[in-house]
Structure formats: structure tokens, C-alpha cells
């Protein structure tokens, strides 16, 4: 039986973890990889994340399914170059922003695309960071699905179901607004926290005193600056709105502490505790 070919552009954490997860579910897939980093290509082959490396986009376009796990600006650039897709090809992007990507896909191949955002990841990168359970039990947001072809929708839904993800359908504009608050702004806060501490504390003190809470908050500051620069650029307005809202709440905290309004501060913190009721 002929295997379904899956081309993965971007052989890092997300692409590598996706291939591992699918390999666990079925032997019906043949994985082809493309990455500008030749070391990543060699490492992905060695780790068995892919079955073959190709050197050009033309070769990837022959695949039945194409997965784009590269920075969001790169996704838009690649979309403009996919000019020779088969009618039943399915292209799925894993970008963390969705509206600009969705709107930038050429109309001639729009039905071939499914714009998705798997809500998972770690601060690590490269093929060696791939994890077999990265996607299991996590949410994947599928955006603007009415713009995708029926065949492409079914292909994407099956792939994500097979690796045990929970599917959520949402408009790209709505997604970007929500993602700014629950993902993009927290990354900005983590970078700010890391810079604030590094400018005040000696590294030896950080190592000696930093507990789990600080490590958890600072962990995502290890994330790729290049990738997050792209995300902040593409979702600028929503990210700024989320930062302004966060600053407003932090200012409230500052004022309550300055004015020794301890009862009010306690109530404010209890309101924050209710977040755990919905998580």
C-alpha cells in the first residue's frame, strides 16, 4: 500500500514532535523534511523524525500533506511560493498568529490551506527537543475553516484527532485577540521579568534564591527572540491591548501596596484566584 507523504518544513520542536506522534499512531506515513539549517536536517534523519531530506520547495510540493512549522513571517513567505500544489494537497500551518497568515494565502491555493494553532510548546528548539506527547490532550485551534476545502478540512481534523488533540474552531481575528492575552502577552511579561531581574541581581544570587515560581515565570524567556519578534509584529495591536490591560492591573497592585490598602489588595488577589476555577 502506498504511504501518504507528509512534508514538514521546519524540523524543530513542533515539526519533530508532530512526526513522532503520527509515527506512534500509524505506519501509513512517509515523512519528508526541509529545513534551512543543514544540521537540523542531519539530526532529524538520525533521530528518525523523517525518512528523507529534500533541498527544495518544489520537491516538498509533491507531498500529499505539507506541514509548516516555521516562524509566522516565514509561513507567509512560503505560502506565496507554493504555486504548484496538487488539487487535493493539504497544507497546514502551525503559526501562533492567524489573521495575517489567513489573509495572505493566495486565493488560487486558499482551499488547500488549513490554518491551525496547536496550543502547546516548550522553550526548547531543534530536532532534539521533539517530544512524543507534546500534542496529546492539548488544544489545537482551527481558524477560518470555511475557507478551506472539504477534503483539506477532513485531512487536518483526522491528523489532529489521531494524535489525541482537542479541536476548537474559531475565526482568525478572534483567535489573535485571545492568543494575545493567554500566550503573547505572558511571553512579553516573561522577557520583561528576566531583564528586570538580570539588571538588579547578580547571577549567583539568582541561582541561590530563585524558587519554582520564578523559574516557571522566567522559563519562557528562553524562547526564540526571532520567532517572538515575528509574532509580536504580526499581532501588534492585540498584543499592545493585552499589555495595556496587564499594566493597568499591575498599577492597581502598586497603588494598593503604596497606600497600605491590605484588605483591598487581599480581595483583588482572591479575584485572581478564580482563574483556577476555569483552568
Report pLDDT for 215: 77
Determine the 3-state secondary structure of 201 from DSSP.
Answer: coil
Report pLDDT for 201: 67
Q: In the block, which residue shows the cell 499581532?
A: 235
| Alpha helices, DSSP H, located in 54-184 | 57-60, 72-81, 99-104, 150-162, 172-179
Report pLDDT for 138: 96
Give the C-alpha separation, 158 to 126, whole Å: 26
The reply to whether CATH 3.40.50.720 applies to domain 4-170 is yes
Report pLDDT for 207: 64
Could you check whether 4-170 and 175-277 share the same CATH topology? no
For the chain, the C-alpha Rg in angstroms (whole number) is 21
pLDDT in tens, the chain (279 residues): 689 999 999 999 999 999 999 999 988 999 999 998 899 999 999 999 999 999 999 999 999 999 999 999 999 999 999 988 989 999 999 999 999 999 999 999 999 999 999 999 777 888 888 899 999 999 999 999 999 999 999 999 999 999 999 999 999 999 999 999 999 999 999 999 888 888 876 766 776 777 677 777 778 888 888 889 999 999 999 999 999 999 999 999 999 999 999 999 999 999 999 987 776
Query: From the CB of residue 113, how many other CB atoms can be counted at a distance below 10 Å?
Result: 28
Level-2 CATH architecture, domain 175-277 = Orthogonal Bundle (1.10)
Instruction: Parse the chain into domains and list their residue ranges.
Output: 4-170, 175-277
Amino acid at each position: 500500500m502506498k504511504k501518504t507523504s507528509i512534508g514538514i518544513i521546519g524540523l524543530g520542536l513542533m515539526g519533530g514532535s508532530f512526526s513522532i506522534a503520527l509515527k506512534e499512531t500509524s505506519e501509513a506515513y512517509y515523512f519528508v523534511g526541509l529545513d534551512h539549517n543543514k544540521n537540523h536536517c542531519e539530526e532529524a534523519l538520525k533521530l528518525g523524525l523523517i525518512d528523507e531530506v529534500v533541498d527544495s520547495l518544489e520537491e516538498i510540493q509533491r507531498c500529499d500533506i505539507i506541514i509548516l512549522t516555521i516562524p509566522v513571517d516565514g509561513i507567509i513567505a512560503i505560502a506565496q511560493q507554493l504555486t504548484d500544489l496538487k488539487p487535493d494537497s493539504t497544507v497546514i500551518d502551525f503559526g501562533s498568529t492567524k489573521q495575517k497568515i489567513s489573509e495572505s494565502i493566495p486565493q488560487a491555493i486558499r482551499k488547500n490551506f488549513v490554518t491551525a494553532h496547536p496550543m502547546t510548546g516548550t522553550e526548547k528548539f531543534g530536532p532534539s527537543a521533539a517530544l512524543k506527547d507534546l500534542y496529546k490532550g492539548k488544544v489545537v485551534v482551527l481558524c477560518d475553516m470555511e475557507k478551506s476545502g472539504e477534503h483539506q478540512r477532513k485531512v487536518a481534523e483526522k491528523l489532529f484527532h489521531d494524535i489525541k488533540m482537542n479541536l476548537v474552531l474559531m475565526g482568525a481575528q478572534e483567535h489573535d485577540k485571545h492568543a494575545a492575552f493567554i500566550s503573547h502577552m505572558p511571553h512579553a511579561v516573561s522577557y520583561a521579568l528576566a531583564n528586570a531581574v538580570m539588571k538588579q541581581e547578580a547571577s549567583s544570587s539568582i541561582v541561590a534564591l530563585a524558587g519554582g515560581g520564578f523559574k516557571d515565570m522566567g522559563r519562557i524567556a528562553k524562547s526564540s527572540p526571532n520567532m517572538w519578534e515575528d509574532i509580536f509584529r504580526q499581532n501588534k495591536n492585540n498584543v499592545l491591548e493585552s499589555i495595556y490591560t496587564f499594566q493597568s492591573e499591575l498599577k492597581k497592585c502598586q497603588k494598593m501596596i503604596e497606600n497600605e490598602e491590605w484588605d483591598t489588595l487581599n480581595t483583588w488577589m482572591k479575584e485572581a484566584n478564580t482563574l483556577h476555577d476555569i483552568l
